[in-house]
Every structure is written in C-alpha cells, then in structure tokens.
C-alpha cells in the first residue's frame, strides 16, 4: 500500500468513530434542551403566570422550537450517514 491508501484508511476509521460518538451523544443533545425548556415554562407557570416572568416562558418556547428545528435534520443526516457508512 502506498501513502495515499493509508491516509484513506485512517480517515475512514475516524469517520466511523465520529459517527459513533455522535450517536452516543444524540440523546443528551435532544433531551437536555427539552428538559431546560420545560423547566423554564414550568417555572413561569409556577410563579403565577405573571408578565414579570414572561421572558422565562418565551425562552423556554424558543429553546424547545429551536431544538425541534435543528434536531430533526441532524437525526436524519446522522441516519443517512450511518447507512452510507455501512455500505
């Protein structure tokens, strides 16, 4: 094998390690923002639905919607990449 072939083999193994790491961290990346968003909304609700704490509610909604908007494409691309990597 020449040097270029060895570099390709090393890069291929690194990609599989990166995919494995992303798969292991995916539950944390998805669940943690939901927990924080729900906590902020519950905090606003618990304090009496006052306009003084309305920022907490808005921040919770933004976190949850942003998490949904970015996690769905992330999970799709991760699934496609892992399927492509298996072939």
Residue-by-residue DSSP string for 46-86: HTTS-GGGHHHHHHHHHHHHHHHHHHHHHHHHHHHHHHHHH
More confident residue, 60 or 2: 60
**Residue 20 belongs to some domain of the structure:** no
Taking only the tens place, the pLDDT of each residue in 38-76 is: 999 998 888 877 777 788 889 999 999 999 998 888 888
Enclosing domain of residue 51: 26-86
**Residue 65 belongs to some domain of the structure:** yes
**Residue 50 belongs to some domain of the structure:** yes
**Residue 37 belongs to some domain of the structure:** yes
- The b-or-e profile of 55-74 (16+ CB within 10 A means b, else e) is ebbebbeebbeebeeeeeee
Question: How many CB atoms are located within 10 Å of the residue 75 CB?
Answer: 14
**Residue 31 belongs to some domain of the structure:** yes
Domains: count for the chain:
1
**Residue 32 belongs to some domain of the structure:** yes
**Residue 43 belongs to some domain of the structure:** yes
Q: Can you give the pTM of this predicted structure?
A: 0.66
**Residue 58 belongs to some domain of the structure:** yes
Q: How is residue 30 annotated by DSSP?
A: H
């Amino acid at each position: 094998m020449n040097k270029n072939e060895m570099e390709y083999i090393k890069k291929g193994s690194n990609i599989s390690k990166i995919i494995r790491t992303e798969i292991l961290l995916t539950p944390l990346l998805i669940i943690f923002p939901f927990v924080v968003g729900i906590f902020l909304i519950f905090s606003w609700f618990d304090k009496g639905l006052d306009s003084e704490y309305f920022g907490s509610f808005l921040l919770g909604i933004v976190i949850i919607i942003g998490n949904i908007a970015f996690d769905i494409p992330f999970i799709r691309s991760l699934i496609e990449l892992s399927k492509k990597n298996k072939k």
